[in-house]
Amino acid sequence: MKKILIINGPNLNLLGTREPEIYGKFTLADIENTLKDFAKKMNVEIECFQSNHEGEIVDKIGGAKNNFEGIIINPAAYTHTSVAIRDAIASVEIPVIEVHISNIYSREQFRHNSFIAPVAVGQISGLGIKGYLLALEYFSGK
């Protein structure tokens, strides 16, 4: 069975507590549970990981080599700042899909640049929780 790693970056543990007009009313646990149910239907195995720390995310990506067939990542604010996460993705040789809950291109200018997009297979931005599900469907091959 295909194994897919799902990584959520800084402050996404706060989903559902503030800014529902931007990020919706779902908590991170809601998203992860929805993904687990959908993974069963798609016949893939998933592992969910969230961290507020750049180095932990870099380590998780590096450790995914030979263990996962795909990575779905919402790097959150690190999208716009992290050369370290970009380099980790570029070196791990696992396809990565970048997901954003909000449409980063309709927000502040500083969110329009992604360091991650050039090393990702693709990017889904602005479709809410559905973006994670579409990325998982892509990796399932169904």
Least Å from the CB of residue 65 to ligand CA2: 24
Active site includes 100? Answer: yes
> Computed over its alpha carbons, how large is the radius of gyration of the chain?
14
Least Å from the CB of residue 110 to ligand CA2: 8
Give the active site residue among 78, 100, 132, 138: 100
DSSP letters spanning 9-40: -TTGGGTTTS-HHHH-S--HHHHHHHHHHHHH
Which of residues 2 and 80 has its CB atom nearest to ligand CA2 in the complex? Answer: 80
Residues that bind ligand CA2 (CB under 6 A): 11-12, 14-15, 17-19, 23, 74, 76-77, 79, 100-102, 104, 111
Helix and strand element counts for the chain (H, E): 5, 5
